[in-house]
Amino acid sequence: MRVSFFAALLSGALAAPVAAHHSAAQFDTSKQVTVEGVVTRYDWRNPHVYMAVRVVGPDGQELEQEIEAGASSVLLPLGLTPAAVAIGEHVTVRGNPSRGGPGLMVLGRELVKADGSVLPLNIRSAPSRAAPQNVLATSIAGTWFPQTQGFYGYTESRAKWTLTGRAQEEAAAWSSRSASYADCIPVTAPLLMLYPVTSVIEIGTDVVRMHVDWMASERVIYLDGRGHPVNGEATLHGHSIGRWEGSTLVVDTTQFASHKEGLSLGVPSGSRKHVVERFTLNADRTHLDYEVVVEDPDYLTESLTYRSQWNYRPDLAPTGLQCDLEVARRFLLQN
């Protein structure tokens, strides 16, 4: 059993920063850590999976190395399951060390089992798994998985946004230590609809419900012809009304509560945010085309438009896990 630390420039997915939850600033993503030993703890929890591996330190003494993995709702569709790792199992974990030095939390990237099989511990560590063949959607109803590249494409596109002075100031002052997810408060549309987690759409006569497996988020879209209420209460996911344009669902949402990450991680939104989304079943019937237009005069000087796709994944199921406040705040203890 051993733990080794060595500097190495990592390429591709391994070198990319973590953005799906809190910042990876506390970890040195330019260096790789290899942790080899026996699993002593495996906590399948939300919004992060944690484990501990018993290793032999440089001084020859045994110690437990803490490993932080990604969100259970993100990793489950990529192949990591509650039963994938057993206590007492010998594993090798590759990841990134804490900037605070050896012995502190390691950011896990992938886990190699004794039989050579590799399990992802981070969203960047594995491509989306293939959808079942010959299974076609008949409408936008069903179980979907937003493509990972769509999520990262959106977060990286913020460099092109025209932010107001207020937005620039608040973005500069933003820190993962004060972010809303540390209090189990999820992001909102449009970022919520791009998260690479299982999303289930249920279509009724007068209402559409969207269940997003990110901190148990649910959106309700009214189809009964009502408008937005005058002086309605601002809420986390806003007030949504929808209409059908052929087979495309058009959703208009206003009355969002102000949010620290309402436009993107580190970019807030205000109470005047207005989101118009279009959900269309692709002609191949295995993808859903997602288009969104966002206006927020408090933080954007002009509207932004973004397009992405979801994969049809009827083989997936949500984790069903509620956000665990202790787990959500655990990373705050690492600095």
| Whole-number pLDDT of residue 2 | 46
- By DSSP bridging, strand 62-68 and strand 106-113 are parallel
Number of Cβ within a 10 Å radius of residue 145: 23
The two structure tokens encoding residue 305: 């438009």
Domain positions in the chain: 2-127, 142-312
**Mean pLDDT score of the chain:** 89
| Whole-number pLDDT of residue 242 | 98
Backbone angles phi, psi at 38, to 5 degrees: -105, 135
Kindly state the percentage of the chain with pLDDT values over 70. 90
Q: What is the pLDDT of residues 161-173, one digit of tens each?
A: 999 999 999 999 9
Cα separation, 158 vs 23, in Å, equals 16
Assigned CATH for 2-127: 2.40.50.140
Q: What is the pLDDT of residues 65-112, one digit of tens each?
A: 999 999 999 999 988 999 999 999 999 999 999 988 777 899 999 999
| Whole-number pLDDT of residue 105 | 92
- Say whether domain 142-312 belongs to CATH 2.40.128.20: yes
Q: What is the pLDDT of residues 29-75, one digit of tens each?
A: 899 999 999 999 999 999 999 999 999 887 888 999 999 999 999 99
Instruction: Region of 157 please: left (phi>0), alpha (psi -120 to 50) or beta.
Output: alpha
- What average pLDDT does range 288-303 have in this prediction? 98
Picking from 189, 84, 179, 171, the residue whose alpha carbon sits closest to that of residue 126 is 84
Runs of H (alpha helix) within the chain: 72-75, 148-157, 165-173, 325-330
Strand ranges, E, within 28-105: 31-43, 50-56, 62-68, 90-96
Cα separation, 180 vs 233, in Å, equals 20
Measure Cα distances from 216 to 99, 107, 272, 283, 302 in Å: 32, 24, 25, 30, 31
Pick the more confident residue, 17 or 325.
325
- What average pLDDT does range 290-303 have in this prediction? 98
Backbone angles phi, psi at 312, to 5 degrees: -75, 120
DSSP annotation of 32 = E
Chain centroid, CA 242 distance in Å: 25
Q: Above 70 in pLDDT, residue 130?
A: no
Question: What share of residues in the chain are helix, strand, coil (percent, to 5)?
Answer: 15, 40, 45
Residue holding tokens 């087979």? 247
Picking from 128, 327, 51, 330, the residue whose alpha carbon sits closest to that of residue 215 is 327
Instruction: Categorize the per-residue pLDDT at 330 as very low, low, confident or very high, splitting at 50, 70 and 90.
Output: confident
| Whole-number pLDDT of residue 265 | 87
Q: Above 70 in pLDDT, residue 277?
A: yes
DSSP annotation of 247 = T
Q: Which helix (H) or strand (E) holds 278?
A: strand 274-281
| Whole-number pLDDT of residue 275 | 98
Picking from 284, 282, 292, 288, the residue whose alpha carbon sits closest to that of residue 309 is 288
Q: Above 70 in pLDDT, residue 236?
A: yes
